[in-house]
Structure 1
């Protein structure tokens, strides 16, 4: 699901889909979270709303279309099962950015998980169909809601796939880049020089670039490590730099499936292009001992770390804006 070469393939096909009919994002029912369509699924995590009036968060959820018996390439945004799955993953992922700005989460015609391994037989088209929805949702957001506010882009896995294209289409070397606080792109392989003018951010309070990571059990290297991860962009999502180790004591918190926060749960190691963690200290720990690929937990493993970091970056962005205004 993290194939780097997909990006080049997507870009080559992108213009072939411009005429395709996409969802109507003036319809509030096509948004999971937006002004006028606010969900309670992330409100429980908001205690400080001071930044919500200043910045926006545009979140794209990961692959939830997993049914092996379903032969469709894309799922309708009106499909109730997809909506329920999207709500659940949004609760455990998008909520990490809940205090960093107003939340915008569009439903989209998501590509089936098989698309990533069947590009030539329909997968590429399915992924571009999904991206067209995300692109149009973002354009609607810009036209009707943004009004010059700073922007955080946040996603995971397929969501990060689409956000990479969104960065190229709307931000990279373009005027809108001035409004970019940070693009969080976990769960997908990204080259450090993937973008022309958007850098990898290597300190906790930097703005105007992207961060990314992929999480595995300590000392585990997938068979595809050399192709997918080695030499790729990666930061430590506890220290937010390229530190080789962030100790367990520095880990702010893992949002577990029981909706409880587990702090100081594991050590975090940055190796070449990937993140290794020790076995998390959580309930049912014995079940996680055998787990080697933590892709599904790329966000909620570092939920509280992301939560604090997003606020720190927005505050840093705001301070720079005030400083620039004073110097004019």
Structure 2
């Protein structure tokens, strides 16, 4: 199972214009909704025994004073799967989520807070492309986001207990997080409990929120960071890389190594890439930031490097490439939040 994430990365990144099996969207075929009062509706939760996150949490998880609400990316991508939304009671699918997104993405925030991640009726990958978007895709996306809203509402009402929060997500998960911030944090009192939002692998314009702003300081709180990653010296083509052309010069980008608006970094600044063998490889990446995109070299000194050299869109590596950088930054922002707000917090 550890290798699934890596080969999913390669296959997704190498894929281009694909024809997917599809069918008309039908309410009668929408999978059963989650019940977030049931622990089985969470893929990550502090009360889950033998959690895959146990190896990443501090020795005493109860010392963590913050929470992380994490939304995983699209993992139903099979072009032969005509379903619009995932069945959250599919054990095989949930095992994949646990051993990929939770192990290799959510784990980046495990040193900063207790992680809550709801299982949701994620929309199939094809909803992001025409002709599928306007032929069922928007409805499938709405189903997925309504689950996220329900999960977050339950979490705030029953689990959070006034604790500061990190919001984090990737790709489809980040798109849902973006709307979650809009609906629950932007211009509300809950903003005062927001340590930071990591909206990774999605398009976000600087005027999307009324009050929430991008953060260009590694200690900053109550705002968000975002980036999308491509390979240096590989020019995307419009018919094959539609996402790039929606992001180019049109999306907030924060440097995920320096956490400011620096346009270049060198290898010695890179804290570490998390590979599928669970090893962290520091000093493997240097980046340039321009056109609203993070441009990365082919990671050096890692296994299977040749395969990475065949890829030009590093979207699926948006978090793994900068795993240690994210982990350390989340801790820094959390400590800074408590240093600045300790007198206001009633915990």
The TM-score normalised by the length of structure 1 is: 0.89
Match of 2:213 among 189, 192, 199: 199
Cα shift readout 1:53-84 (whole Å, capped 9, x = no counterpart):
31000000000111221111001100123201
Match of 1:310 among 330, 334, 347: 330
Alpha-carbon distance between aligned partners in 1 of 2:166 and 2:224, rounded to the nearest angstrom: 10
How far the C-alpha of 1:151 sits from its partner, in A, is 0.3
Match of 1:94 among 98, 102, 106: 106
Verify the 8 A CA contact 2:34 2:119 in the aligned structure 1: no
Question: Is residue 2:73 matched to residue 1:53?
Answer: no
Q: Return closer, same or farther for 1:258/1:123 CA change in 2, 3 Å cut-off.
A: same
Specify the SS of the correspondent of 2:103. helix
In the alignment of these two chains, the number of paired residues is 307
Match of 2:134 among 112, 116, 120: 120
Alpha-carbon distance between aligned partners in 2 of 1:24 and 1:47, rounded to the nearest angstrom: 29
Alpha-carbon distance between aligned partners in 1 of 2:32 and 2:86, rounded to the nearest angstrom: 15
Alpha-carbon distance between aligned partners in 1 of 2:235 and 2:292, rounded to the nearest angstrom: 11
Alpha-carbon distance between aligned partners in 2 of 1:159 and 1:221, rounded to the nearest angstrom: 26
Q: Return closer, same or farther for 1:314/1:51 CA change in 2, 3 Å cut-off.
A: farther
Alpha-carbon distance between aligned partners in 1 of 2:288 and 2:32, rounded to the nearest angstrom: 44
Cα shift readout 1:79-115 (whole Å, capped 9, x = no counterpart):
1232012102210000000011111011011100011
Cα shift readout 1:137-179 (whole Å, capped 9, x = no counterpart):
1111001111111000011000001001101110000111110
Alpha-carbon distance between aligned partners in 2 of 1:227 and 1:297, rounded to the nearest angstrom: 19
Alpha-carbon distance between aligned partners in 2 of 1:299 and 1:148, rounded to the nearest angstrom: 28
Specify the SS of the correspondent of 2:159. helix
Question: Is residue 2:225 matched to residue 1:211?
Answer: yes
Verify the 8 A CA contact 1:22 1:132 in the aligned structure 2: no
Alpha-carbon distance between aligned partners in 1 of 2:32 and 2:92, rounded to the nearest angstrom: 22
Residue in 1 that maps onto 2:87 = 76
Verify the 8 A CA contact 1:60 1:106 in the aligned structure 2: yes
Question: Is residue 2:118 matched to residue 1:106?
Answer: yes
Verify the 8 A CA contact 2:68 2:165 in the aligned structure 1: yes
Q: Return closer, same or farther for 1:299/1:51 CA change in 2, 3 Å cut-off.
A: farther
Residue in 2 that maps onto 1:151 = 165
Residue in 1 that maps onto 2:263 = 244
Gaps of 5+ in 2: 1-11, 13-30
Verify the 8 A CA contact 2:205 2:251 in the aligned structure 1: yes
Gaps of 5+ in 1: 2-19
Verify the 8 A CA contact 2:64 2:112 in the aligned structure 1: no
Specify the SS of the correspondent of 1:194. coil
Verify the 8 A CA contact 1:253 1:263 in the aligned structure 2: yes
How far the C-alpha of 1:257 sits from its partner, in A, is 1.1
How far the C-alpha of 1:21 sits from its partner, in A, is 7.7
Cα shift readout 1:237-259 (whole Å, capped 9, x = no counterpart):
00001101111100000001111
Match of 1:220 among 234, 244, 249: 234
Verify the 8 A CA contact 1:115 1:124 in the aligned structure 2: yes
Q: Which runs of 4+ in 1 moved over 4 A?
A: 48-52
Specify the SS of the correspondent of 1:122. helix
Specify the SS of the correspondent of 1:146. coil
